[in-house]
Structure 1
Amino acid sequence: MNQFSLEGKVALVTGAAHGIGFAMAQAFAEAGARVVFNSSSQHSMELGLAAYKALGIDAKGYVCDVTDEAAVKDMVADIEATVGVIDILVNNAGIIKRIPMEEMAVEDFRRVIDVDLVAPYICAKAVIPGMIRKGHGKIINVCSMMSELGRETVSAYAAAKGGLKMLTRNICSEYGEHNIQCNGIGPGYIATEQTAPLRERQADGSRHPFDQFIISKTPAARWGTPEDLMGPAVFLASDASNFVNGHVLYVDGGILAYIGKQPK
């Protein structure tokens, strides 16, 4: 028996039209799962569908605001009726606002909390009843190194991701007896389109200062890639992790284990 097979499973990955969510959904599809994803706009959803189709993946996309409980309930009901009861939920959708705390509007702080913490609660709440009926389920919350560490300008993001780590543990505590495993995956610094400006070479050919910082803080001495998250995501979504619950798996090249290089 292949413990890592997802054959016949239905996986909902939020915000998976691109980036790390797309990579995880691709890995699920390659392991045999039927992929469903949402986007916040029709345009993004259609781009996502085209990207999946280009890989030969028959994904189903929804336009849904994951902070809207009624909309999420409707989406989950439609998935259950047309695709099947959700076996795997990945709470990937998220935002970040890099603003110094004393300059950040309360509305901006609340928006980050709403998308990065309240939305995973809403989505998990919507899928758990079906998982209980089915007798199993996997919930993966996309946490962050900011679930453990603070950094300047990301007070709302760090607060949300720290809360998401504890929501992960609490879902485990509350629903583990129903054979539902809830774990987190904590990406390190991942090379995506969003982070591309931070990795551009300077006019003199040197690394961007932030790029230098990340390389110096990472024992692997490189940025991660979306592909680095594929194996860990399949592990947490599969029967291979049936006795792993309430855990956050950090995929960070070793940053959290490392104090950094001594200055010369």
Structure 2
Amino acid sequence: MTILNRAWNVVERIRSKAPLVHSITNYVVMNNTANGLLAIGASPIMAHAQEEMQEMVGISNSLVLNIGTLSAPWISSMLVAGKAAKAASKPVVFDPVGVGASSFRTQTCTKILQEVGPTIIRANPSEIMALAGADGQTKGVDSMHETQTAEEAAKYLAEHFDCVVAVSGERDMVVSATEAVWLRGGSPLMPKVTGMGCTASAICGACAAVTESAFDAGVAGMIIMNAAGGIAAAKAVGPGSFQMHFLDALYSLDKEGLMSHCMVEE
């Protein structure tokens, strides 16, 4: 079965199972990511109080940790939820937003990597390089590097932490300790809309909730983003209308649209 066919099977499973994706994410993107999950067929929950983490993890099918707007209480909640999810063999997607921009942010990421051990890491090239300790400069949450420059850092993280690493860029890359796939699609409008990377992480969480293969989940998540981005861009006239059409594209995504709006470069 081809990579695109496997990705479509993941979409069908999301729509039939409607997995509950627990996201401890940032203030800026809560609405975007929740709507993205609903549009693809999953169910979002955005709880962050430490007092309810064990129960929320218990009813959820996957967990997404996003450090975009950090605070000490949220970090504690992420660690509690992450450890509970791993103990219950539930997938954890980690989005290290802006890692490298401050020592507090970088130290938090190191703690999550070491104490939780994510199933999938989804980030831009600069974040991946900073996370791996490479000489990567981070400008806020935006990437200053192309995906190719982060390839070795992504492979290091995949091998060192036994996880899948999905790198977003003009070309997307998904790697594990043994596999690698390059993807091309999406739209130049995507970086003009806040939260698209965070939405990718959430979608990866939905994919991971319905498949045993973390690699297939990471690849499917990025293919979905590429396909929906390409479909939306054909109708949009700017970032505002793109965001609207992107949600519609997720909701109405069919096999033909997925196959025709993402190219796999193995």
Calculate the TM-score normalised by the size of structure 2. Answer: 0.42
Higher-Rg member (1/2): 1
Q: TM-score, normalising length from structure 1? A: 0.42
